[in-house]
Amino acid sequence: MKRFVQVLLSAVLVVTATGCGSEEPPDGQGDRPSQRPGSSVPPDQTTSPEEQDSKKAVSVTFRRSGGLKPTDESSVFAAGKPLPSGRTRGEVRSVLEAASDPKLINAELEPMPKDQCCDRQTYVVSITWDDGSSRTYTTIDGVQQPQVFEEFLTKVA
């Protein structure tokens, strides 16, 4: 019985070790990053393709309005600009890093509900990236957004 268990464990280890690898694509490229179109310089081999193609946020504008006790406040997070009230340079850096996350850049938010009752706060976040592109995200209390956006919103709010 002991011999059987040893053979069984050995077989499981062999299957696990060989089964976890990925097959090499026919072109032989594997997981190696490909060279960017139009670039004569090979990509940095220490970064993933997502990191190589990612945009860096240069500014984030946050606005919160409405609610039971109406509010209308806004903040701008940008290097070289005055710090938002009560914020540190580290927090500004953290917001800009979070705004550079490809998952956030590509996040699809749930649409705004038709009933936007006056008791809810509305959040509008505009991000500008280093390539000149920008995007505005709008949501309201009570709408479940993708986790990456919810976490980002807690940083800027």
Question: Any residues with CB less than 8 A from the CB of 21 and at least 6 apart, and which?
Answer: none
Q: Please state, in angstroms and rounded to a whole number, the distance separating the CA atoms of residues 92 and 90.
A: 5
For residue 145, give the amino acid letter. Answer: Q
Q: What is the pLDDT of residue 102?
A: 96
Question: Domain limits of the chain?
Answer: 49-109+117-156
Q: Which of 139, 130, 142, 149 is nearest to 63 (CA)?
A: 139
Check if the beta carbon of residue 75 is closer than 8 Å to that of residue 84.
Answer: yes
> What pTM does this model have?
0.65
Integer-rounded Cα Rg, in Å, for the chain is 23
pLDDT digits (tens, 9 = 90+) for 81-125: 999 999 999 999 999 999 999 999 999 999 998 877 778 899 999
